[in-house]
Amino acid sequence: MRIDRKLRAGRVHARCVGFTLIETLVVICILGILASLLVPAVQSARESGRRAGCANNLKNIGIALASSHATNQTFPAGMRPSALGSSRLYSVYPFSVHSEILPYLDNSALYNHINFMAFDVSKDNMNASIPVAANATVLNLVVETFLCSSDSARYLLPGCSYRATTGPNPFEQEGSKWVGGGGAFPGLKATRSQEFLDGLANTVGFSERVIGSSESRGYNKYRDVVSSNILTVTTDVDSDLMNSVCSGLAGAFSSFWSRSGERWLRGGFEFTLYSHVADPSGKVSDCSAGGPIVEGELSGGSVSAHSYHSGSVTCLFMDGTVRPVAGTINLMVWRALSTRAGGEVVKSGP
């Protein structure tokens, strides 16, 4: 009798040890709710860190620009041709602002390895490049300061996530056949701080611009540049016309520039320059003024600031301050922020 009671007690105890199916499901539901709350918080914290890292990169670029100006009494030109091409208004492989500020980013060794004499094109054929073996190593080196960790396009390396602005107009040069620029880094022109009549604090110098999709991945409106052929219709192309033309482009494009921002060493809209023709929201397709795009010929069009930071692009102003600018900013205000002497009185924030 006592043994039977002990056995029954043991069975009762055994039944009370585990969880029922309902209890298990409740626990799973609670864990799922906690995960749904925690994952966005973790992702938000990570993005906040990436945004801070991006701002720090731009801050370092700003310090380098100021140091360069203190040394040379000018900011670097938007595009620096090699000594072989210095007599030409434009060369297919000019050097970038980025290459010029390397000594002020604690990269003097890398700067000293650049052969500024070896990177040029034939006088007779703009598309026939002189062998660039002397810069082959430098051309493929990654400079982390020029990369934003929020942009996942690490397949196009060495990469350039931060670009210098030519201003609000659709061409790189000032004083060429098409009057363009007006910004901090207009083509081959090296500007001085005295030329910024709007104030260094009111003029954008650099901004984020996402890297291209690469040809194997297909056209991406946010990353790539398509051709408009507007120059075959008229050479009187201003910002409003260029923006209107780019706005009207739609569809799946078989020909487009997919290597945007692939290189930090080379100047031009292909890699290291951008314009304020369109706002930074990404709603308007980036497009060239000319025909099918090949490297070294994207000398006009609308190449805008874009970012994968939610709701804004991070901008470096010429006084060295770094501030986010909303993607929904008014286009006229956005253009005014890119002129160095437009006479506008604007603010990027509240």
pLDDT at residue 226, as a whole number: 92
Convert the pLDDT of each residue in 59-92 to its tens digit.
999 999 999 999 999 999 888 765 544 444 444 5
Q: What is the DSSP string of 267-296?
A: -STTTTEE-SSS-TTS-SPEEESSSS--TT
pLDDT at residue 317, as a whole number: 97
SS3 assignment, position 301? strand
Contacts of residue 303, Cβ cutoff 8 Å, sequence gap at least 6: 209, 225, 260, 269, 273, 274, 275, 277, 286
Contact status, residue 210 vs residue 308, Cβ threshold 8 Å:
yes
pLDDT at residue 88, as a whole number: 46
By DSSP bridging, strand 204-208 and strand 312-317 are: antiparallel
- The domain spans of the chain are 16-336
Contacts of residue 326, Cβ cutoff 8 Å, sequence gap at least 6: 311, 312
pLDDT at residue 85, as a whole number: 46
Q: Which positions of the chain have pLDDT values less than 70?
A: 1-19, 35-50, 81-93, 118-134, 153-155, 175-181, 215-216, 292, 294-297, 345-350
The H or E element spanning position 265 is: none
Convert the pLDDT of each residue in 137-189 to its tens digit.
888 899 999 998 888 766 677 899 999 999 998 988 776 555 556 899 988 88
- The single-letter code of the amino acid at 42 is V
Q: Does the global pTM surpass 0.95?
A: no
pLDDT at residue 126, as a whole number: 40
